[in-house]
Amino acid sequence: MPFSAYKTVDAVVKEFQITYTQSNFIIETEFNIPDYFREDLEIVMQDGAADCSEYAICENLIYPVLKEVWKQYRQKFILWSHKSLTYDEKLSGFPEYILAQKSPLGNVVFDKPYFLLVEAKLDNFEAGWAQCMVEMIAAQKLNEKPEQEVLGIASNGKLWEFGKIKGNVFTRNQTFYTIQELDKLFAAINYVFQQCELLLDAEIADRN
């Protein structure tokens, strides 16, 4: 069953025996947003068709924000767009975006995923989170580290919600962020990337 077949959070919780909690775990970590990015985003939102379709939302609002933060972490991670993620028949599909470890074999090789973003299509965050949760579960299984933390975001481009799963406990951040408060949004996303970096560094240290 593809990720997109999951439509409600409670269905995911019951099927995979996940404990659902809510708390504010995001620690806003300052990020210096370049002036050119602010100007470009303003032009797109004011004069472009930024949210006329699901594809437009991804291309105009979601990916540019993620890419800007990813640039600071590109030595360790690759930001994949609409890349196949498959564990088994029940856990497979194409997350909008995946942050995965950079493989020593090159940029064409998909390595361990640490963070996933799902577009909340038609502003349906319930279905968005259901899909994001099963993708995070698939990432845990693919990494063969069920206790390892995996982070996730559900977004419609304008509203951004954050979550994480560790072991069998899913935590949804109570505070959400909007693209209208760009500095706060970038600070929250930067925290997510920072946590992924800490997880990767800890794993590398364990190997050595």
User: How many other C-beta atoms lie within 10 A of the C-beta of residue 92?
Assistant: 16
pTM for this predicted structure: 0.95
- pLDDT attached to residue 148: 87
Mean pLDDT by 10 residues, the chain (208 residues): 89 96 98 97 94 94 98 97 92 95 92 96 96 96 89 98 97 97 98 96 81
- pLDDT attached to residue 1: 61
- In the chain, the domains with their CATH numbers are 3-207 (3.90.1570)
- If we measure between CA atoms, which residue out of 141, 132, 134, 183 comes closest to residue 162? 132
Tell me the residue ranges of DSSP E strands in 1-134: 19-22, 77-81, 85-86, 92-93, 97-102, 110-119
Half-sphere exposure of 11 (CA within 13 A, CB side): 14
